[in-house]
Structure 1
Amino acid sequence: MRKVNLKESFNLFSDFWSPKIVGEINDSYVKLAKFSGKFNWHHHEHEDELFLVINGRLRMGLRTGDIDLEPGEFIIVPKGTEHCPEALTDECSVVLLEPKSTLNTGNIINERTVHDLEKL
């Protein structure tokens, strides 16, 4: 077992939209990611995702209406739900809880797709 200091862990990287693994719980990863600007619309056929905002502000674009999140707030995006995360500040730091099978770009493969996640 080990403890994870979020502030120290977020300071270990500066790239955006590239989740890093900081822990495992059952069949899921705990990931850290920094967001800047807008991501791509996508969905995950088989996985729910939890987004917990640590710093900055996040807009979760949804076809049914956007939801804005402040630090200390989280949203769970159910599997099959099309969504588009967007940082509303220059940088937004987020903790993700996702099944290990989750690909960051879901059903879309492009230059932002990360196949091999770095472990911190």
Structure 2
Amino acid sequence: MSTPSTTRRGMLARTAPDALAEMARLIRTPCAQASPAELAAKRKVAGPSPQQVALLLNRPDITWRTIEMIERGHKTVDDDLARQLDQIYATDPRFPLIGPVAGSLVNDNAGDRDE
């Protein structure tokens, strides 16, 4: 009989590839085409809080409350804001290889390290 921790680890191992693929899909989806729920998920994957996003945007018309309203579907995203959000959400240092620039989950430089 397996212990609960073993079961949890097994479940995580089975779902990890799917979760990683979903993260990659979310990051590659342009903000202009994303639903409010996808925008919220993109921000959470990228890491910054609504407050940090508002600071990074450096726009007086966008506050952290505006970011939350967009993610709830109460405000729409114009093209300029979508472009800026794409730049912010694609620069997460934890996932440098799955942003829109790389577009791949494969690290092409993995074998190039000097041992």
Give the TM-score, by structure 2 length: 0.30
Task: Give the number of the structure whose residues are more often strand, by fraction.
Answer: 1
Task: Give the number of the structure whose residues are more often helix, by fraction.
Answer: 2
Give the TM-score, by structure 1 length: 0.29
